[in-house]
Amino acid sequence: MKDTLEKIRLNTLESLKNAEDEAAIDAINLAVFGKNGSLTEILKGMGKLSKEERAAVGQLVNGVKKELEKELNERKAEIAAKMQELRFAKEAIDVTEPGKISMPEGHLHPMTQTYREIRDALVGMGFTTYEGPEVEYDDYNFTKLNLPLDHPARDMQDTFYVNDKVVLRTHTSPLEARALLNLKPPFRLIMPGRVFRVDEVDASHSPVFMQMEGFVVDKDLTLADLKGTLLTFIHAVFGEDVKMRFRPSYFPFTEPSAEVDVSCTLCGGKGCRLCKGTGWLEILGSGVTNPHELENCGLDPKEWKAFAFGLGVDRIASLKYGITDIRLEYENDARFLKQF
């Protein structure tokens, strides 16, 4: 019996040494301690022994059983740790490895591209960006810009009113009043931002759109300075071959006022569907700042002069890229945007 136990012990230890996975450990456990296992068979046969022999054999069997259980558990833990290490190595990710899937590259929205081009052209001419609130006082949006409560020009702009004194700004021109009241002239400012008007959405109108305004305050400014500034700006944005013309117009906050046209960017001035056969495209409004606006903001119009011009970023983007419906510029349809 003693020799049989020693043989079982040695064979089991050798099998555990050669086991490579948890399945092999389970098989050894079953072969030794299972219902028909080798050690279990010895325990079953102890009933045939005498009392003295059972005590001696029982002690030997318990010793072998404890040793083999300990070795089996230790070997099982070793194999589990090894398998976990191999699994971790297999699942490891090298974050420095180049990607295997080609991802599409993003790019700037055409409105953003246009805005930055306009901004960079004006910054190159000495302008500085100046921003303000979208929810504006009526006083800044209208009154200080030479549009008192009874002024008929207020009807030219359909306004979103928050209350009797507060509106959603209808243009970026309130920033002119804020600049005149808070900055020390001379200065040259770019005033970008969203503006709001009660408009039905269609191919050329939106209740929310992006404007940019240029505003210059200095001594001895004239309409010629405005024209020279705009010509330089237009050549920077549209190219040296583009021509410019002034058309007399009316704005309450400038006098004289002018609409500015450029030769058609599609046909070069020959006449096409984009310019409706005229060869010209309207791009912005401009003018010499009305003396009343300067007075309303505390400046002496005899000492200081100013001029301003305002444009719609979506309008410029449409002209540059041949976009015929401004809704495309605001709806973010990926099929449209990927063309840019």
Look at 53 and 259; give whichever has higher pLDDT.
Answer: 259
Per-domain boundaries in the chain: 2-91, 110-337
Q: Model confidence at 73, in pLDDT bands (50, 70, 90)?
A: confident
Q: Model confidence at 1, in pLDDT bands (50, 70, 90)?
A: low
CB atoms within 10 A of CB 77: 11
Does residue 297 surpass a pLDDT of 70? yes
pLDDT digits (tens, 9 = 90+) for 212-239: 999 999 999 999 999 999 999 999 998 8
Single-letter residue type at 256:
P
- pLDDT given for residue 156 in this prediction: 62
The pLDDT of 254-262, averaged and rounded, is: 93
- Round to whole Å and give the CA distance between 32 and 333: 71
CB atoms within 10 A of CB 231: 14
Look at 245 and 65; give whichever has higher pLDDT.
Answer: 245
Look at 111 and 153; give whichever has higher pLDDT.
Answer: 111
Does residue 131 surpass a pLDDT of 80? yes
The mean pLDDT of the chain is 87
CB atoms within 10 A of CB 287: 24
- pLDDT given for residue 296 in this prediction: 93
The pLDDT of 99-104, averaged and rounded, is: 76
Does residue 19 surpass a pLDDT of 90? no
Q: Could you give the 3-state DSSP secondary structure of residue 74?
A: helix
- Round to whole Å and give the CA distance between 169 and 161: 9
- Round to whole Å and give the CA distance between 303 and 291: 11
Nearest Cα to Cα of residue 234 among 117, 340, 128, 132: 117
Least confident of 53-57, 177-181, 218-222: 53-57
CB atoms within 10 A of CB 212: 22
Angle between helices 51-91 and 38-45 (to 10 degrees): 160
- Round to whole Å and give the CA distance between 244 and 231: 7
Q: Model confidence at 118, in pLDDT bands (50, 70, 90)?
A: very high
- pLDDT given for residue 124 in this prediction: 93
What does the radius of gyration of the chain's CA atoms come to, in whole angstroms?
Answer: 43
pLDDT digits (tens, 9 = 90+) for 23-51: 888 888 888 878 777 877 777 777 666 77
Q: Model confidence at 97, in pLDDT bands (50, 70, 90)?
A: confident
Most confident among 28-32, 85-89, 114-118, 273-277 (mean pLDDT):
114-118
- pLDDT given for residue 252 in this prediction: 87
- Round to whole Å and give the CA distance between 3 and 68: 16
Query: What's the CATH number for 110-337?
Result: 3.30.930.10
Is the CB of residue 42 less than 8 Å from the CB of residue 4?
yes
Nearest Cα to Cα of residue 290 among 310, 305, 271: 305
- Round to whole Å and give the CA distance between 127 and 216: 9
Q: Model confidence at 313, in pLDDT bands (50, 70, 90)?
A: very high
- pLDDT given for residue 148 in this prediction: 83
Question: Exposure of 143 by Cβ count < 10 A (0-12 exposed, 13-18 middle, 19+ buried)?
Answer: middle
- pLDDT given for residue 153 in this prediction: 66
Is the CB of residue 1 less than 8 Å from the CB of residue 42?
yes
